[in-house]
Amino acid sequence: MIAKSRLKEYNSKDTIAAIATPLAASALGVIKISGRESLPIISKIFKSVKNKNLKTAKTFTLHYGWIIERPKIKNQKSKIVDEVLVSVMKAPNSYTKEDVVEVSCHGGVVILDKILKLILKHGSRMALPGEFTYRALINGRIDLLQAEGVAAAIEAKTSQALEEASFQLQGLRSKKTLLLKEKVKDLFVETESLINFPEEEAKISYSELEKKIIHLMKEFKGLLSGSKTAKILREGIRCVICGKANAGKSTLFNRLLREERVIVSKIPGTTRDVIEETIQVKGLPLRIFDTAGILEPGDLIESQAIDKANEIFSQADLVIMVLDGFKKLNSQDYLLLNKAKDKNTLVVINKSDLVQKIEIKKILPFGFDIVKMSALKNIGLKDLEDSIYRLVLSGPIKRENLIFLNSYQQTALETAQQDLCRALECLKQKQTIDFINICLKDCLESLGRLNGEVLTEEILESIFGRFCIGK
Ligand X SMILES: Nc1nc2c(ncn2[C@@H]2O[C@H](COP(=O)(O)OP(=O)(O)OP(=O)(O)O)[C@@H](O)[C@H]2O)c(=O)[nH]1
Binding site for Mg ion (CB under 5 A): 249-250, 270-271
Q: How many CB atoms lie within 10 A of CB 117?
A: 13
Whichever of 139 and 304 has its CB closer to Mg ion, that residue is 304
How near is the Cβ of 28 to Mg ion at its closest, in Å? 44
How near is the Cβ of 355 to ligand X at its closest, in Å? 10
376 binds, among Mg ion, ligand X, none (CB under 5 to 8 A by kind): ligand X
287 binds, among Mg ion, ligand X, none (CB under 5 to 8 A by kind): none
How near is the Cβ of 322 to ligand X at its closest, in Å? 6
Whichever of 120 and 262 has its CB closer to Mg ion, that residue is 262
Whichever of 2 and 348 has its CB closer to ligand X, that residue is 348
Whichever of 248 and 470 has its CB closer to Mg ion, that residue is 248
Contacts with ligand X, residue ranges (CB under 6 A): 243, 245-251, 264-266, 268-271, 292-293, 350-351, 353-354, 374-376
Whichever of 123 and 269 has its CB closer to ligand X, that residue is 269
246 binds, among Mg ion, ligand X, none (CB under 5 to 8 A by kind): ligand X
How near is the Cβ of 4 to Mg ion at its closest, in Å? 50
Whichever of 226 and 325 has its CB closer to ligand X, that residue is 325
Whichever of 15 and 271 has its CB closer to Mg ion, that residue is 271
How near is the Cβ of 293 to Mg ion at its closest, in Å? 6
How near is the Cβ of 290 to ligand X at its closest, in Å? 7
268 binds, among ligand X, Mg ion, none (CB under 5 to 8 A by kind): ligand X
How near is the Cβ of 384 to ligand X at its closest, in Å? 12
How near is the Cβ of 325 to ligand X at its closest, in Å? 8
Whichever of 270 and 418 has its CB closer to ligand X, that residue is 270
